[in-house]
Amino acid sequence: MARNRAYLDYNASAPLITAARDAIVDTLTHVGNPSSVHTEGRAAKAILEAARRDVAALVNAKPDHVFFTSGATEAASTLLTPQYSMGRAEMRLSRLYVSASEHPCMLAGGRFPAEQIEIIPVDGNGILNLERLQELLASHDRNQGLPLVAVQAANNETGVVQPIAAIGAVVKQFGGLFIVDAVQAAGRIILDITTSSADYLILSAHKIGGPKGIGAIIAVSDLVMPKALVRGGGQEKGHRAGTEALPLIAGFAAAARMARDRLEHGGWSVSQREKIEDGIRAIASDAIIYGADVERLANTTFFSLPLVKAETVQIAFDLAGIALSAGSACSSGKVGPSHVLAAMGHGAGTGGLRVSTAPDTSDDDVARFLDALTKIVARRDRSGAVAADAA
């Protein structure tokens, strides 16, 4: 990152940490295929299994229940399917229930047809409506198949943390399977697959300082698993064919180790988020900070400025040397309101801006953001609209 810029978009992608980069480079020299039985293959296999242990430890899972994918989107597409098996017996899941504020890769529904997808509403803070979920699952026709429920642990735009244990308890009450998208939550809050009632967690390496292009499905057991999306060889116990991307996996493991160490030594402080939000309120008293009344990730602030479009303000920040997002990075190139804000009942507004930090985000970066915001708001108040020029 250039020294004259401030990076405040960690929810989109965290910079590659040094340990992950070193692990990638070191592993590039290993010639063996993890599926080969010779000495070189066994050495590669040892790296793979060590990485599986490191990633599993981040969420208190069993290493044998970690299956690597090309990323979270592939993991979601793998899990969101009507076709599962319990051992050798086929299982049928007849309907997918997904919250309205999910990441686009979850809302797309994977391999479920549109008519078998039910959207669960969220409230004004982005918290899933548990009563509605109960109603939907109570009326679910189990003769057609089991229900499958998919919910984020923490929202990628607002940082709002869902009551995963309570949601999981409802899902289990009605005999469903429960997928938790833990992409934003992993490494930022403590996750334990054994106490969450989740059947599967989804992780992505580049959100925690690992490389792009690698993610994982973590199952609470290997008894019930989805029909493979990528089929061919027997890699990953047949759940995901293709030679494992060993350097990327090694980098993922290094990032998981650092993330776990940080959680074990105090975790993420909310003090910087509070400084950012106090500053926003002081500069623009009419600013709206979303999810402020509920639990959120310590690093995430999602806010809007009335009378100006979020995309316009994002450009102004970029020209001022500050990287942040107008919503999800996966959809920020599209013109239109945030679907997350729309789900929360704020869809008629001007969109939102996401500031997402890391423990090593400097006070100077925060001060730079607040200084730029001061100038943007001053121009808005003078003209009623923000010019794209941040000079």
**What is the tens place of the pLDDT at every residue in 130-158?**
999 999 999 999 999 999 999 999 999 99
Q: Which of 263, 285, 309 is the last residue of a domain?
A: 263
* Whether residue 86 sits in one domain with residue 167: yes
- Helix 246-264 to helix 18-28 angle, to the nearest 10 degrees? 150
Residue 287 burial (CB < 10 Å; 0-12/13-18/19+)? middle
Q: Which of 215, 242, 263 is the last residue of a domain?
A: 263
**What is the tens place of the pLDDT at every residue in 76-86?**
999 999 999 99
Cβ neighbours of 138 (radius 10 Å): 10
Q: Which of 263, 291, 312 is the last residue of a domain?
A: 263
Q: Which domain holds residue 236?
A: 18-263
**What is the tens place of the pLDDT at every residue in 280-313?**
999 999 999 999 999 999 999 999 999 888 999 9
* Whether residue 296 sits in one domain with residue 196: no
* Whether residue 181 sits in one domain with residue 47: yes
Active-site position among 28, 31, 165, 330: 330
* Whether residue 356 sits in one domain with residue 227: no
In this structure, which amino acid lies at residue 29? Answer: T
pLDDT band, very low/low/confident/very high, at 386 (cuts 50, 70, 90) = very low
105 is catalytic: no
Residue 347: which CATH number?
Answer: 3.90.1150.10
Number of domains comprising the chain:
2
Task: Calculate the alpha carbon distances from 108 to 105, 289, 315, 318 in Å.
Answer: 5, 27, 28, 30
